[in-house]
Chain A
Amino acid sequence: MSLTITELPHKEQALFRSALRLYEVRQYKKGFKTCEQILKKFPNHGETLAVKGMFLAYLDRNEEAYTTIKRGIEISPQSSISWHVYGIVCRRDEKFEEATKCYEEALKVDSENVSILRELAQLQTQIRQYDRLVETRARIVKLDGNNTPSYWLGLAVAHQLTGRYDLALRIISTHENTVLDENSGFKANNPDYRAEVSELLMYKTWLMELNGDFQMALDNLKEIRPRITDVTGWKEQKAKLLLKLNRKEAAASAYQDLIERNPDNNNYICSYLLCNGLDMSRPEDKDAVLEIIKGLQKQFPISNTLKFVPLTFCTGDDFVREADILAKYSLRKGIPSLFASMKTLYMNEAKGTALGKLFEGYALQLRDTKRFSDSTDDESSLVLMWCKLYLAQHADYYGDYERALKLVEEAISTSPDTVDLYMVKAKVLKHAGDIRGARDIMDFGRQKDLKDRFINTKTVKYMLRNNEVDEAEKTIVLLVRDDAPHKVQEIVDTQTIWYMREQGHAYRRLGDIGRALKHYQQVADSFATYHNDQYDFHSYSMRKFTVRAYNDILKWEDQLFTHHVYVDSAKAAIDCYVDLYDRKAAGSPFVPISEKPMKPFTRNGSAKQGQHNLSAGLGETKPVAVDVDPNGSKFVEADDYLERALKFVEVLETYVGSQPETHVSAFEVHLRMKKYFLALKSINSLKAIDDDYSSLVPMVVRMRAALDSDETFAAPMKAALKDQLFKAFGDASIESTIETHKQSLTFMLAGAKCMIRLGGESNVARAKDLLLQAASDRYGETRTLKNLLAAKDLLVEAGASESELATYATSAKQVFALSTCF
């Protein structure tokens, strides 16, 4: 039989209580010893065992921790302490679902324990069980006799999260006086809590708006003005509500007020126009819009936004006139981002052409007369330099890399110390396929300003694109803060996700799947941390009253895994695991590479170390923290490649199910797991997004082949699946789909890849034939650098000979004359 605490002798009871206190003050070792002391006399005391287990977890002895706690629970399953402790350990390990269940068990015995309820509320928010959250929060409020603000605010937020804005408002109205009433003795009168009061009042107004009571919200807003600290938020809210209530005149003056505070906000400007019944995107409004913008420009000459806005809606001569004003201003000022901001206009072909002509004209005028044709003053030579830089980027945009390089060279000869010029030159070379040259130029630019982290960052990125992982690491640590104990670890600790991803890609190109997976996993781990970061705010934000920002945090967290760095790394990790699986299945498993490759891998064999000035701080670099898995062998030696891949697939399916490539990745994993119904589901999901997607028919073909060759799979189910495929796709084949899209390299690549995967001499030979033609004219614009490189990789996979690869390289160089990457 189990003993409850009260059944222990006094001395042990006291020890038990002191163990719990030791947990609160984080004295885990002492706490552990205290438990041991009790267990010496009462080795089967369940609650002590559970608490001992918790201390073990905090002493990083996780496995023992769980067995000890589970034994404790077996002995005293009716103890809330044991379940609570179990919940704490699960929560610590980020097993939020399990933790929630433990807390619920604990509450079955101890239903009025507010601190357990509060922790449960945090967990339920974390796993988005909002309906249950409402119950939990309601119980807390009911048990609390003190009207604790964070409790009832928590309940209001729970109602709001389930869409019951009316109930949220009612809760606030019932309790708000404990905070707002001047006689409540609480926070209202204390200037130290002004911000909290302000946030509560603003939240209430927002709830009214969510509930559709715009007028009530507006009236309330006016009343609370003197107590508001978030003045910008208040003014934005007021303007928005006036516009929603269609009180256009008042709304216009509210937006006018906002523009005065910040004339560089496009949203304010658009809304101001809306108040005047105007819309920039409506051509018939153009003249009226322009008139208003001109008026605002006079009022706010400092605004960059107002200078640019006319370019977005003007066309023809109006466009040229407005562009001329902005261009001359920017060239004289030497604004490096001029092309970057104009670039969005190039979507409209006529505007791109017009801008090219305009700047060509400037270049001629400045070259011949040192002046713009409408001016009587000589311009500095730098104006022509910036003009050439613009024209270089313009040529680059249209793929004329040789001209772009010539122009940027001319700019450099005028101003050889301007770092921006090298950044542009490197970018042009990158687009032209000279990855090595791009990296060299970026590095040259870096040497002009060794203290600047931005150019350092760019150089590191370009080095990684050139597969120089070691050089990249040496370079990035130069500008990691000097007092970081371990600079390489610091980069991981500060969540430098772009670097992790690029490292992964570089190692993958180098064929080092172990290290590639290691870095993709670092990305995934960083996102897991981001996801868990929200946990504390489920309670902190209630105490701070900043629940509007808190809602914003939840919204962001809910779509965290749609971030392109995560999606890209996850897909790459899936590919790596699939690759590992295939190699193992083919009898030649991948072996972890123990030594780092010393030399950058370049296929033309001309890799040379550039000149680097590493004296700027590398000497102080302290030894790196012991990396327990430097080459990623942990990933390579795993025996569950597909299960690991599946974890990534599940995240992608949940968050980016609207992207075609999600289902391509999912298919690859399901097919290898012989989960044919899921593979079919991936095919159908892809078809629903885009029934003419390049990978679709290849997936169907491979599915058919897999079904045919799987003799262990039940015949009736096989027939049913094949029947479904036939109904949806008939007898679609690779050859037919390539033929239908004979001008698309993308379709050809997908088809060739499929043939290689299917295997068999004739398939592979056919794929090779197709791929050797990848650079031919028929593919026109689809011959992007990325596609041509993919063709090269597939050729290597198909076992093309040296001479075949050389022939292909020559043909690819006809498309990208400056390239060095084939």
Chain B
Amino acid sequence: MITIRKAMASDLMAMQHCNLSNLAENYQLSLYLYFYSGWPDVSFVAENAQGQVVGYVLSYVKKEEGKDSVGYICSLSVIRSYRRLGIAQRLMGQAHAAMVEGYDVELSTLNVRVSNSAAFNLYKNTLAYE
């Protein structure tokens, strides 16, 4: 059973572990702390029945003076053995909703390696990123 919920400080190490196991873009924990502490309401995790983090989305919002807020998906990852459950899509759904409701974000952006075909398809086809 997977639960999707807001990320907490006690999830950050598990998010880092998930990221290091899955992706090539890795960060020190201080970055996770910085995003969490700056924008605590736009990052989410997926947790399995044993309480392990099996997926996360780490995001933040930037607002430049006089301009609209822009949402950034810094990193999104789901552990391979938990694929096909729609976890990534659900995590992104929560992050998008939080950005739109809270920050009136009209645009959100992300970077993806073209070689990461699973992620690329999710963003392009399911979530309609351009």
Do the two shown chains form a genuine complex with each other?
A: yes
A residues whose Cβ falls under 8 Å from a Cβ of B: 191-192, 194-195, 198, 228-233, 236, 261-262, 264-267, 302, 304-305, 308-309, 312, 333-337, 340-341, 343-344, 419-420, 423, 451-455, 457, 479-481, 490, 493-498, 529-530, 533-534, 537, 540-541, 544, 546, 548-550, 552-553, 555-557, 563
Identify B9's interface contact among A232, A455, A549, CB under 8 A.
A549
B residues whose Cβ falls under 8 Å from a Cβ of A: 1-6, 8-10, 12-13, 16-17, 20-30, 33, 36-41, 48-50, 61, 63, 65, 79-86, 90, 94, 97-98, 101-103, 115-116
Residues in chain A near residue B49, CB distance under 8 A: 341, 343-344
User: Does A192 contact B1, Cβ atoms closer than 8 Å?
Assistant: no
User: Does A266 contact B37, Cβ atoms closer than 8 Å?
Assistant: no
Determine the residue in chain A with the shortest Cβ distance to B89: A302
Residues in chain B near residue A266, CB distance under 8 A: 1, 3
Interface-centre pick from B38, B41, B61 (highest chain A CB count, 10 A): B41
User: Does B13 contact A533, Cβ atoms closer than 8 Å?
Assistant: no
A452 to B23, CA, bound (A): 8
Q: Give, as a whole number of angstroms, the nearest-CB distance from B90 to chain A.
A: 6
Residues in chain B near residue A494, CB distance under 8 A: 20, 26-28
User: Does A453 contact B21, Cβ atoms closer than 8 Å?
Assistant: yes
Residues in chain A near residue B27, CB distance under 8 A: 494
User: Does A232 contact B37, Cβ atoms closer than 8 Å?
Assistant: no
A309 to B27, CA, bound (A): 35
User: Does B21 contact A304, Cβ atoms closer than 8 Å?
Assistant: no
Q: Give, as a whole number of angstroms, the nearest-CB distance from B105 to chain A.
A: 11
User: Does B22 contact A454, Cβ atoms closer than 8 Å?
Assistant: yes
Q: Give, as a whole number of angstroms, the nearest-CB distance from A343 to chain B.
A: 8
A264 to B89, CA, bound (A): 12
User: Does B37 contact A420, Cβ atoms closer than 8 Å?
Assistant: no
Q: Give, as a whole number of angstroms, the nearest-CB distance from A146 to chain B.
A: 22
Interface-centre pick from B6, B23, B33 (highest chain A CB count, 10 A): B33
Residues in chain B near residue A550, CB distance under 8 A: 37
Q: Give, as a whole number of angstroms, the nearest-CB distance from B25 to chain A.
A: 6
Nearest 8 Cβ contacts at the A-B interface: A229-B102, A549-B40, A454-B80, A230-B41, A556-B9, A494-B26, A552-B9, A308-B1
User: Does A195 contact B103, Cβ atoms closer than 8 Å?
Assistant: yes
User: Does B12 contact A556, Cβ atoms closer than 8 Å?
Assistant: yes
Residues in chain B near residue A546, CB distance under 8 A: 37-38, 40
Identify B5's interface contact among A191, A267, A308, CB under 8 A.
A267
- Given A451-B115, A541-B37, 18 further pairs, Cβ under 8 A: A194-B103, A195-B103, A229-B41, A262-B5, A265-B3, A266-B1, A333-B84, A340-B48, A344-B50, A420-B81, A453-B21, A454-B79, A495-B16, A529-B30, A534-B33, A546-B38, A552-B8, A552-B40
A195 to B27, CA, bound (A): 25
User: Does B24 contact A262, Cβ atoms closer than 8 Å?
Assistant: no
A232 to B1, CA, bound (A): 22
Please, could you name 21 A-B residue pairs with CB atoms under 8 Å apart, sorted by A? Answer: A230-B98, A230-B102, A232-B94, A232-B98, A266-B1, A305-B2, A308-B1, A309-B1, A334-B84, A336-B83, A337-B81, A340-B81, A340-B82, A419-B80, A453-B23, A495-B16, A495-B28, A552-B8, A552-B10, A552-B40, A553-B33
Residues in chain A near residue B29, CB distance under 8 A: 495, 529-530, 533
A614 to B27, CA, bound (A): 25
Residues in chain B near residue A191, CB distance under 8 A: 63
Q: Give, as a whole number of angstroms, the nearest-CB distance from A266 to chain B.
A: 5
Identify B81's interface contact among A232, A264, A336, A497, CB under 8 A.
A336
User: Does A265 contact B4, Cβ atoms closer than 8 Å?
Assistant: yes
A419 to B83, CA, bound (A): 12
Q: Give, as a whole number of angstroms, the nearest-CB distance from B42 to chain A.
A: 9
A510 to B36, CA, bound (A): 41
User: Does B24 contact A453, Cβ atoms closer than 8 Å?
Assistant: yes
Identify A455's interface contact among B20, B38, B80, CB under 8 A.
B80
A320 to B3, CA, bound (A): 23
User: Does B33 contact A537, Cβ atoms closer than 8 Å?
Assistant: yes
Residues in chain B near residue A457, CB distance under 8 A: 20-22
Q: Give, as a whole number of angstroms, the nearest-CB distance from B7 to chain A.
A: 10
Residues in chain A near residue B81, CB distance under 8 A: 336-337, 340, 420, 423, 454
User: Does A305 contact B103, Cβ atoms closer than 8 Å?
Assistant: no
Determine the residue in chain B with the shortest Cβ distance to A557: B9
User: Does A265 contact B102, Cβ atoms closer than 8 Å?
Assistant: no
A530 to B24, CA, bound (A): 21
Identify A530's interface contact among B13, B17, B23, B85, CB under 8 A.
B13
Residues in chain A near residue B38, CB distance under 8 A: 544, 546
Identify A496's interface contact among B20, B80, B82, CB under 8 A.
B20
User: Does A264 contact B98, Cβ atoms closer than 8 Å?
Assistant: no
Determine the residue in chain B with the shortest Cβ distance to A551: B9
A537 to B13, CA, bound (A): 17
A308 to B21, CA, bound (A): 27
